[in-house]
Amino acid sequence: MMKKLLCVLLCWALLPCFAAPVWAAPVTVPAESAVLMEKETGTVLYAQNEHVPLAPASVTKVMTLLLVMEAIDDGRLSYDDVLTASAYAASMGGSQVYLEAGEQMTVEDLLKAVCVASGNDAAVCLAEGVAGSEEAFVARMNERAAELGMEDTHFCNCTGLPAEGHLTSAYDIALMSRALILDHPDIRRFTAIWMDSLRGGEFQLANTNKLIHRYKGATGLKTGSTDEALYCLSATAEREGMELIAAVMKAPSSDERFAAAETLLTYGFANYTLLAAGPDEVLPTIPVAMGEKDRVQPVYAEGAHILVSKTQAAGAEKDISLESAVSAPVRRGQQLGTLTVTSGGEVLATLPLVAGETVERLTYWEIAQKILRSSLFVS
């Protein structure tokens, strides 16, 4: 009897070790590496081996798309531009839309080919259109990765085709995915397509990202698979004004990568929300001493949202603290106070309240005139 009791007590004592990982992950996913990130704030909600460098396969094309969209936004490229496929671009293997050397296609259709069908030939054609050659384009990919803080990344091509040293991490995938969807929301015109066609309807396209068809709120983004990388995915979805990014690397099968992304996205939407820290009412103006204007209007800083758990959001309270008065000059964007958001006594965020305009200081002559007018009015 004593031996049985000791055995039961020992098993009971060991149960917590098997019940939860060391850092108490809220969910588990069948992948080597994974990250869940919220778009606006960049907050990481889940991480599993997030900085392990792995082969990304065609998820590489997230960076390719980012550079193409930047070229479009700054006028170096337009959707209507017609690019001519080089023999090199046409020679790409793997996923492709079977461009022929010398074939012409608009940037819009090439983007569609990359986003929907993961066309390697289309990706190289776009890269050559932006930078003149894939080599020059890849150099810019690595520069851009460094600018985004992608410390686990080195690109060797713009497609994700197998190459020694072509590596990134789930965290870095989330970073470049965030840059793409945050700064270039127009990419959704392509990444959210389920089925379409090219060449006047002669070539049919079906999105490699099956979540577009089956997951509520799915907006993109990019799949990838090779023998080395196994199955990778950057999946984005938006619900109730919050967009999430689920980066999954080295899942054992295609179905498991989609299941992993669904698990992460659903966890995020079920437990977190963006809380607008914007005004419940117009903020009072603040007196300005020696200024061209007597008062200045404080405003909330742009993008004033905070990511909170849904439990915290239910009890959130806002406390505003403003300067009683300021002296000119006052510069637009100058901090004039703070907004503190709390829930259950816990401070969730402290956000700046800033001047919505510039108020210059009066010159000595203007001060003298003002004093004179005041004295005349009194007399």
pLDDT of residue 170: 98
pLDDT digits (tens, 9 = 90+) for 22-40: 334 578 899 999 999 999 9
* Mean of pLDDT values over 135-152: 98
DSSP 3-state assignment of 75?
A: coil
- Around 197, how many Cα atoms within 13 Å sit in the side-chain half-sphere? 6
pLDDT digits (tens, 9 = 90+) for 57-84: 999 999 999 999 999 999 999 999 999 9
pLDDT of residue 303: 60
Who contacts 180 (Cβ-Cβ below 8 Å, separation ≥6)? 62, 65, 66, 69, 187, 221
Q: How confident is the model at residue 377 (pLDDT cuts 50, 70, 90)?
A: low
pLDDT of residue 25: 53
pLDDT digits (tens, 9 = 90+) for 312-331: 888 888 888 999 999 999 99
pLDDT of residue 24: 41
pLDDT digits (tens, 9 = 90+) for 215-246: 999 999 999 999 999 999 999 999 999 999 99
pLDDT of residue 278: 67
Amino acid at 195: M
Tokens of 164: 């020694």
Instruction: Identify the CA nearest to 222 among candidates 239, 189, 197, 246.
Output: 246
Q: Which residues pair with 47 in a beta bridge?
A: 35
DSSP 3-state assignment of 329?
A: coil
**Quick one: what percent of the chain has pLDDT higher than 70?**
89
Instruction: Identify the CA nearest to 303 among candidates 241, 210, 218, 371.
Output: 241
* Mean of pLDDT values over 143-168: 98
- Other C-beta atoms closer than 10 Å to the C-beta of 325 total 11
Q: Which of 1-5, 270-274, 316-320 has the weakest average pLDDT? A: 1-5
Q: How confident is the model at residue 1 (pLDDT cuts 50, 70, 90)?
A: very low
Longest C-alpha distance within the chain, in Å? 106
Q: Which of 191-195, 230-234, 236-240, 372-376 has the weakest average pLDDT? A: 372-376
DSSP string for residues in 188-242: HHHHT-SEEEEGGGTEEEE-S-THHHHSTTEEEEEEEEETTTEEEEEEEEEETTE
DSSP 3-state assignment of 30?
A: coil
Catalytic site positions: 58, 61, 118
Q: What count of residues does the chain have?
A: 379
Q: Is the pLDDT of residue 258 over 90?
A: yes
Instruction: Give the integer Cα–Cα distance in Å for 359 and 340.
Output: 26
Torsion of CA 154, 155, 160, 165, to 10 degrees: -50
Query: What is the crossing angle of helices 61-73 and 107-117, to 10°?
Result: 160
